[in-house]
A and B are shown apart, each in its own frame.
Chain A
Amino acid sequence: MPETRIGVFVCHCGLNIARTVDTHAVVEALREVPGVIVVDDYDYMCSDPGQQMVADAIRELRLTGVVVAACSPAMHEPTFRRAAEEAGLNPYLVEMANIREHCSWVHDDRDAATAKAIRITKTMVEKVRGDQPLHALQIDHVDRCLVIGGGVAGMQAALDVAESGFEVILVEREPSLGGHMAQLSETFPTLDCSQCILTPKMVEVSRHPNIRVLTYSEIREVSGYVGNYTVKIQVNPTYVDPDKCNLCGDCEKACPESVPSEFERGLTERKAIYIPFQQAIPSSYTLDENACLGLRPLRCSECAKVCEPGAIDFDMHPEILEEDVAAIIVATGYEQLPLTSLPEYGGGEVPDVIDGLQFERLLSASGPTGGEIRRPSDGRIAKKVVFVQCAGSRDPENHNSWCSKICCMYTAKHALLYRHAVPDGEAVVFYIDVRSGGKGYEEFIQRAVEDEHILYLRGKVAKLHRDGDKVVVWGVDTLSNQRIEVAADLVVLAVSLEAHPSTEAVTKALKISCGGEGFLKEAHPKLRPVESLTAGVFVAGAGQGPKDIPEAVAQGSGAAAKAMALLAKDKLSHPPEVVSIDESICGGCGVCVGMCPYGALSLNGSGVAECNEVLCEGCGTCVATCPTGAAQLKNLSDGQLNEMIEVALAGS
């Protein structure tokens, strides 16, 4: 029986641990533990000298196991495992005892915290005592990446991955690429025409030999694991052959059915057969079967009658494609809080109260009013426009607690562009703060305030109501301590941004989480903003949280870099903390087989259970199920846990 020679290293973490835990007392207590042959402490174990201390001890004292009592293993387990491996010790014989997040950071009483830190460290010594050397499995992977979402973040991610030589499948639920950026008139702070800077990217994506674009498509099911995900994609029928459609628009003229236009945010209508906007990619019309009079049986077919190229095909049907990908990037984007959720601001019922994206469409030269700022109710040019910031944001009592980040900037942009469009018009902005942190943003705000004579009033709008043909806005100016009442022609609400409603279905299929507010959850808010907690799944863009275009693009590139790091590896490493079956005591009951969520277990030819290590994720559900104890988790066996429990509770 090889001798147990465990080294314990206690970190002070500066004062993070040492302020509350008496690290010297921990060192002394651990010296008494059988099998522990060296105990040391240091200010910052994760630093080079700290790691060197561990490496030296491994070599000089021929350690068979290491416990580093410090922060969470989520922080530095890889650090110490790597250091140990370089020093010649199997990395799976290294454990971390969390005496920071689980102890010094959450307790005040120094005596109690020290006693607990000793218990925690002793418990992990017990675990290491039972650990076996393990070797990570090397698995193959396909050379393909999936991007979910064809907005600016998703397109950037797709382009970056494709440029490095890997295949990309880009899935977009709308009939066209572009996302919300395609709906914007101009972008702050440069006032670039949004579609002018976006459409070249859309074209690049559609032309790239390594990118396969699937629009009007949705993710149905995802199975597998990092490096080998199998994705079922439903491609919905557009009933129009994009190779034949020449955008003549005759079908649209002939179609008798109209519905509110999603692209124009309901300000105008579109036909059942439509193209969302002229620069849509794919460059083709789409027949919305829900708006159409009926396809099965065919009730109308006026569009097909006038279609010269014969592009319309009523026999198209949904297709399910099954694709294997190594990595997935989720860029599902945002949606605005609907006006119906804001009863204090009219609840969507008061005419001439619109939201940010609707105002973009009014501003847009290709929009429903040709760029003229006309009131939706009577089409008159608006001479007095009130802009209400923070509509539904920063309001935990009634709506969303968060700041939607971009509204201060786009409201200033809106007011500025309005003043250019209607030089004799008045613009009033009700704000709480003005947040303008990006490059050139503050200067843009100053320009709006000083050069464009936009009236900025610091105060929240309490409510608004219709009075005749005006909208009366009740606000306040906190700097002069006055209640303000404005009779506006048009009110633009900078409504709160939320994760797009389609996010939930995607996250469920991928088994990644959203935070409490509904946005895609990143692995670490500071250090891992574009990774999810699931290996191989990355996040980017406004779906992860409200952000402007440069940030969305940057995240797209960031997520792409993470995916490429995976794709570029020869083989992927699969953690070896998986299930092992002791065939000599397995009774072949087979209950574990049905318990495994990954289908990793089966009964083999000899009638005993067998684990496919590549599919095993190490959850241990089968171990808890097994009546004989034949199924055990490597390095977290029932035996180890029993010893750990005993030591954790032993008299202090």
Chain B
Amino acid sequence: MNVISHIGRYFVLLRYVFSRPERRSIFWRRIIEEIDKLGVNSIPIVALLSVFMGAVIAIQTASNIDSSFIPVYVIGLMSRQSIILELSPTIISLILAGKVGSNIASEIGTMRVTEQIDALDIMGVNSAEYLIAPKIWAAVFINPFVIIISMFLGMFGAWMAGVGSGVISSTDYIYGLQYDFNSFDVVYALIKTVIFAFIITSVSAYHGYYTRGGALEVGRSSTQAVVYSTVVILIANYVLTQILLI
């Protein structure tokens, strides 16, 4: 299949995904389950990564300031901007594409090869809507919260490393964090997060849903889900930045 066919089939799948749920009560319950599975379960790894990424940014910024004309609070300013604009929404989304994307593709792919999806279809259940829609809605809802947590922890990590290593005082760091703050940066980051969440879940689910064969193909689908989600996120990141910031 060529790329155009894949894109066409992806949009056909989305049409089935966004059709009316069989049972609203079941649909809501599945969204809650997916919020727990895709979002809440990702918080520990996101927290760990954010703290260390923030710490590294603070130290790298400090090591690159070699002019006495540049005020030290720039460390706080640069950490804030890097974390809010790129590290939390994009890098964490790329990491979630690996963790959540492979999980979704392998789960749905396994259901396909073990005929569980056929069983749903035979019962008259819209399998695409039943399996995929709750994942997309859950990720679109929970990921902004996860990313906000990541932003705070990233800035905390930067403070810890900066103050801990003595390159900046706590007062200067907090002054830098607050300096020339533009709230639209957070809006921009959250818009990106929502779109990336949609990409991660829908692209991964697409690869899982159309898995054919056995265990080997499930593994292949899982890898493809991560690769394609990553590529699409990077392209979308560029396009969104162009649209929203220029």
Asked if A and B bind, the verdict is: no
Interfacial residues, chain A to chain B (CB-CB below 8 A): none
Interfacial residues, chain B to chain A (CB-CB below 8 A): none
